[in-house]
Structure 1
Amino acid sequence: MAASSERSPPPFPASEDTEAAASVPADGDSDEGEDIFVSNVRPLAFPPIYRVSHCPHTGSCLSRSAEHALLYPRPCCYATDLLRAGHSHFLPNRPLCSHHVSALTDVLPLQLEEDEAKDSFDVDVSVTSPEKIGQSELLNYLPSDTSLAMFKSKTFFVRRRFSDFLGLYEKLSVKQSLHGCVIPPPPEKSVVGMTKVKVGMDDPSSVEFVERRRGALERYLQRVVSHPTLLQDPDVREFLEREELPRAVNTQALSGAGFLKMINKASDAVNKMTIKMNESDTWFEDKFQEVESEEQQLRKLHVVVDSLVNHRKELCMNTAVFAKSMAMLGNSEDNTALSRALSQLAEVEDKMEQLHQEKAANDFFVLGELLSDYIRLLGAVRGCFDQRIRVWQRWQEAQSTLQKKREAEAKLLWANKPDKLQQAKDEITEWESRVTQYERDFDRIGMTVRKEVLRFEKEKVKDFKSHIIKYLESMLQSEQRVIKFWEAFLPEAKAVA
C-alpha cells in the first residue's frame, strides 16, 4: 500500500453528489407551541471547474505530494490566481514552485470578499409576532415581496410552525454537514416555555419567551439564506416558497429520535477518545483549539450576562417599590414644597424603573442572545471538524481493509489456489477504488471546512461589531435620559424651603 505522501488522487468530478435527506415518517409528533415564517432569495451561479497542468514559473506539471500540499501547498502565483478566480476545485499533479510563498495565505479571505461582492443575495427574511391557534400552536404569518424569477409570484404569504424550522435543520444536517458545511442551529425546543404560553399569553415570562424565540428563529433563517451553499439547497427554497409543508416529525423535545441523537453523540465522543487522528496540517489543530477555547469563554460570559439581566430586573422591582413608597410619603407630608418635591421624586423613580426595564431587555436581547447564538454556532463549527475526522477514519479503515485483501491475495498465491484468486483481485480493485474515493472525500471536506471556518470568523466579527455598537449607543442614550431626569428634578429639590 502506498504511503499517503505518495498518493495522487484523480481529479474531482465536475459536480458534487447532493443526496436528498431521508424522508421523514408520517407519524404525528406533537407540534406544541410552533411558530411560522418566510423570505426573498437570490440564487448563486457557481464557476465552472478548470484544470491547469503547468506552472508558468517552473514549466512543470502541478501536483501535490502530500495531503497538506494538496489542500494548501506553498503557493505559486498561478495557483493563487486560480483560487482568486474562485476555482478552488483546481488540484495540481506535481509539487508547486515556491514563488510568492506568502501569497496563498490571504487567498481564501480575498476569495470570500470577492464572492460576497459578486453575489447579490436579495434576501429579506423576517418573522412576525406569532398568533396562537387553539391550545398549542403558534403560527407566524410572513408576507414577502420579491422580483426574482425563481419564485412563482412576486408577493406571497407562508405560515411556518416551530417544528418546520427544526425539520429544515434536520434535512440540512443530513445532507450538507456531511460535506463540512456549518449548519446554523435553530433554538432548542422549550417544554417549560411552551407550558407558560399555554397557561396564558399575558404572563410577562411567556411574552418574553415568545419574543425570544421569534427573534432566534428570524436570525436562524437569515443565517441559512445568507449561506451561498445552503441557499441553493432545494429544501431551503421549498421552505421559503411553498405555502404548506408536510408536518415535521421527530422534533419533540423528548422523543425517541432525541434519545438516539444523544446516544450517537456519546458514541462519537468515545471514538474521539479512542482513535487519535495523526493531523498533518497544524491549521486544523490550532483552529479546533481556538473554537473550543472560545466556546468556553462565551459560556462563562453568557452566565455573567444572565446574572446582569437578573440584577437589573431585581433593581427594577425595587425601584418600583421605592417610587410607590415615596409617592405615599409625599401625600402624607404637610409642607407643600416638600410634598411637591417628594411627589416629583416619585415620578423620577417611576421613569427610572422604566429605564431599568429597557436596560434589562437590552442586555438580554442584544448581548445575551448574541452570545447564545454563537455558543450554538461554535458547536456547529466543532461538528465540521468532527465530520472531517469521521471521513478520515473511514479512509483509514478502507486502507486497512485493502491491506488485508492484499495479504489474503498473497496467501492464495502462496497456497496456489487459482479458483479464488480472481475473486480476491476483484475485491482488491473494489477497495482500491474506495480508498481513492474516501481519500478524495477527505481532501474535499478539508478544503470545505477551511473555507467555512474563515467565513464563520468573518461573519462573527461583523455580528459582534454591530451588536456591541448597538449596545453602547443604547447605553449612552439611557445615561443621557438619566441626566435629563435628574436635571429636571434638581430645581424642585432646591425650591424646598
Structure 2
Amino acid sequence: MLSSKSELSVSQEPSPASERAPETSLDRPRSPSHHQAFSAPEHLDEPRWHSAWEANGHTSTLTTPSFAAAAATGVDDDDDDDDTPIGQTAKFRSRSAERAGSMQVRTSPSAMTMTTAPVTRSDGSIPPLFVISVDDPQKVGDPIRQFIMYTVHTRTSSPLYSKSSFSVLRRYSDFLWLYETLSLNNPGVIVPPVPEKHTFGRFDAQFVQQRRLALEKCIQKIANHPVLAKDSDLKFFLESDTFALDVKHKKAESTHERGGLMASIGQTLTGPRFHETDEWFDKQRAYLDGLESQLRGLVKSIDIVAKQRAELSAATKEFAATVSELSTSELGPQLKRSLAALADVEHVVAEAQNTQSQQDIITLMSTADEYSRLIGSVRMAFNSRVRTYANCQNADAEVRRARQMHDRAKAQGRLPTDRVGHTAERRALDAKHEFDQCSRLIKSEVARFEQERVEDFKTALQAFLDGMISRQRELIAAWENYQQLLLNRVLTSGQQGQEHGSLATTPA
C-alpha cells in the first residue's frame, strides 16, 4: 500500500527538509520524501517560511559568484568530452558571470515541490533547509569539444555556509565527480546517482532538458540527506568559485591516497574472500536484482508508449492541416464551417497527445529510470561493507603477526615490546566497529530507500493520472462542443427547409 504524504510548491516557499535514518521500516515515522518532482502542490503560509528561514539570520536575496579569480587561473580546456571536469577560460567565465548576474532564479518542474512538515531532531533543533535549482543549460566550448554548462542556484539555512544564497556554474562531469567522491567519503550511505552518460544526442534539446531535471533532483536529494548534507565536498561543489581548478588538485590527491572509485572496487574484488554471515543482505541482493529488471522493463515500455504518442500527435496534426485546407475549398458555407471546426478539434487532440507523451517521460519514466540507477548506488553501499570487512580481516592478520612476533621474541629470551601488539589490537577493534556500524547504516539506508521509492512512485502516478484525466476531460469537452455545433446546424437547416417547403405549398 502506498503511503500518503503532503507537498508544497517551491514557488511559494520551501519548508525544512526531513532528516531521518531509522533502523527499520517499522520504526520509521511516515514523513514526506525529501524531494518530489511531480505532484499537485499545496501552499504554505509565508510567515511560516520566514520564521524557518530567518531563524538563523538568513536573507532571501540571491547573489551570484564572482568568477574573476577562477578566470585568472588560465586552466587549459583539454578535455574532449564530459568524462572529466575542465577549466574555463577567462572569456567564458566573464560571459557566464554577466549572464548569471542578470538572471532570476527559475524554479523548474523537478523542483516544484518540497516537503511540508517541519521535522525536528531529537535535540529539538530544525535541520538545515536547502532549495537547489539547476537552470540555464548553455552549450560552450569549441565545435570539437563542446559541452553543456548549467547554473546551480542554492538557498540554504545551514550554518556551514557563509552565504544564504549563491550560484555557480557546473557541467555534467562535475556532478559525476561529486557522486563518486560522496560514495567514497561515506561508506554505507546510498548516494543519489547522476543520470547516465550518453555519447550521442547529448545536445538534443529534449535530452538536455531531461538531464537538467535529473541533475536537479539528484543534487536536491543529496542536500536533503542527513549525512551527505554535512559533507565538505558537497559544500565545495555548491559554493566554490574556482571549482575547475581546485577539483583537479582534489582528484590528484584522492587518486594518490585512495586510488579513486575504480581502485576501491578493485580492492573489493581482489581482497580477502568475503563470506556473508547476515541473511538479510542476501535477501536484499536477490530482491534488488528482480526490482532492477522490472524497473528497466518499465522504462523501456514507457519509452515505447511515449514515442507512439508522439507519432500519433504528428499524424493527427497532419490530418488537422489537411482538413483545414479542405475547409477553404469551394464547398457550401455550412460544410466549410463544419470542417474548420473539425480541424480545430483535431489540433486539440494532437496537442493533448504531444503533452501526454512528454508527461509520460517526465513522470513515470524518469522516476523508474532514477530508481533503476539508484539500485546501482545501493549495490555500491553493499560493496563498501565488503571493503570494511576486508579492512577488518587485514587488521586481524596484523594482530596475528604481532602475536607471533611477540611469542618468537619471548622464546628467544628477548624482552618483547607490547606497543606494537596493543596498536594492532586497537586497529582491529576499530575496524570491527566500523564494519558493524556500516552494516547498521546500510540497513537504515535501505529502509529509507524503500520509503522514498514508495512515496516517489505514488507522487509520479498521481501526477500521471491527474494529467491524463485533465487532458481527457479537455478532449471530451472539445468533441461535445463540436457535436453540439453540428446538431445546431442540422436543426437550423431543418427549420429553414420547413420554412421553404411551407412557402412553396402556400396558394397564391
If the TM-score is normalised by the length of the shorter chain, which range does it land in? 0.5 to 0.7
Distance in 1 separating the partners of 2:205 and 2:132:
22
Quote the offset at 1:138 in angstroms. 3.3
**Aligned counterpart in structure 2 of residue 185 of structure 1, from 188, 193, 199:** 193
**Which residue in the other structure is 2:429 paired with?**
436
**Which residue in the other structure is 1:219 paired with?**
217
Tell me whether 1:417 sits opposite 2:430 in the alignment: no
Aligned 1:458-497 pairs, distance under 5 A: 458-494=451-487, 495=489
Aligned 1:180-259 pairs, distance under 5 A: 180-194=188-202, 197=203, 206-247=204-245, 248=247
CA offsets 1:211-268 (integer angstroms, 9 cap, x no match): 11111111011011101111111221232223332344599xxxx99xx989759857
Q: CA separation of 1:452/1:149 partners in 2, compared to 1, >3 Å: closer, same or farther?
A: closer
Unmatched 5+ stretches in structure 2 = 1-74, 89-95, 106-118, 494-508
**Aligned counterpart in structure 2 of residue 367 of structure 1, from 353, 364, 367:** 364
**Aligned counterpart in structure 2 of residue 157 of structure 1, from 160, 167, 172:** 167
Q: CA separation of 1:235/1:487 partners in 2, compared to 1, >3 Å: closer, same or farther?
A: same
**Aligned counterpart in structure 2 of residue 448 of structure 1, from 426, 441, 450:** 441
Aligned 1:83-102 pairs, distance under 5 A: none
> What root-mean-square deviation, in Å, do the aligned CA atoms of Structure 1 and Structure 2 show?
3.8
**Which residue in the other structure is 2:276 paired with?**
278
SS in 1 for 2:196: coil
CA offsets 1:46-92 (integer angstroms, 9 cap, x no match): xxxxxxxxxxxxxxxxxxxxxxxxxxxxxxxxxxxxxxxxxxxxxxx
**Which residue in the other structure is 1:43 paired with?**
none
Distance in 2 separating the partners of 1:244 and 1:404:
47
Contact 2:274 2:386 in 1 (8 A): no
Distance in 1 separating the partners of 2:243 and 2:147:
15
SS in 1 for 2:344: helix
SS in 1 for 2:346: helix
**Aligned counterpart in structure 2 of residue 305 of structure 1, from 277, 293, 302:** 302
TM-score (normalizing by structure 2): 0.64
Distance in 1 separating the partners of 2:305 and 2:235:
40
Contact 1:186 1:220 in 2 (8 A): yes
Amino acid paired to 2:428: V
Q: CA separation of 1:395/1:371 partners in 2, compared to 1, >3 Å: closer, same or farther?
A: same
Distance in 1 separating the partners of 2:350 and 2:458:
29
SS in 1 for 2:372: helix
Quote the offset at 1:442 in angstroms. 0.8
Quote the offset at 1:361 in angstroms. 0.5
Distance in 1 separating the partners of 2:134 and 2:336:
49
**Which residue in the other structure is 2:48 paired with?**
none
SS in 2 for 1:434: helix
Determine what percentage of the aligned residue pairs are the same residue: 28
Q: CA separation of 1:382/1:113 partners in 2, compared to 1, >3 Å: closer, same or farther?
A: farther
Q: CA separation of 1:407/1:184 partners in 2, compared to 1, >3 Å: closer, same or farther?
A: same
**Bigger CA drift: 148-157 or 404-413?**
404-413
SS in 2 for 1:188: coil
Aligned 1:12-51 pairs, distance under 5 A: 29-30=78-79
SS in 1 for 2:139: strand
**Aligned counterpart in structure 1 of residue 179 of structure 2, from 163, 166, 169:** 169
Contact 2:133 2:216 in 1 (8 A): yes
Contact 2:395 2:427 in 1 (8 A): yes
Distance in 1 separating the partners of 2:217 and 2:456:
11
Quote the offset at 1:291 in angstroms. 2.4
**Which residue in the other structure is 1:324 paired with?**
321
Quote the offset at 1:490 in angstroms. 0.8
**Which residue in the other structure is 1:72 paired with?**
none
CA offsets 1:437-462 (integer angstroms, 9 cap, x no match): 22111111112112222222222222
Distance in 2 separating the partners of 1:143 and 1:152:
15
Q: CA separation of 1:115/1:208 partners in 2, compared to 1, >3 Å: closer, same or farther?
A: farther
Contact 1:167 1:249 in 2 (8 A): no
Contact 1:28 1:249 in 2 (8 A): no
Distance in 1 separating the partners of 2:240 and 2:406:
56
Q: CA separation of 1:458/1:322 partners in 2, compared to 1, >3 Å: closer, same or farther?
A: same
Contact 2:130 2:155 in 1 (8 A): no
Amino acid paired to 1:163: S
Q: CA separation of 1:117/1:162 partners in 2, compared to 1, >3 Å: closer, same or farther?
A: farther
Contact 1:31 1:162 in 2 (8 A): no
**Which residue in the other structure is 1:386 paired with?**
383
Quote the offset at 1:369 in angstroms. 0.9
Distance in 2 separating the partners of 1:336 and 1:250:
76
**Which residue in the other structure is 1:351 paired with?**
348
**Which residue in the other structure is 1:338 paired with?**
335
Amino acid paired to 1:310: K
Contact 2:327 2:339 in 1 (8 A): yes
SS in 2 for 1:152: coil
Q: How many residues align?
A: 377
Unmatched 5+ stretches in structure 1 = 1-25, 40-111, 198-205
Amino acid paired to 1:441: E
Contact 1:130 1:214 in 2 (8 A): yes
Distance in 2 separating the partners of 1:325 and 1:334:
15
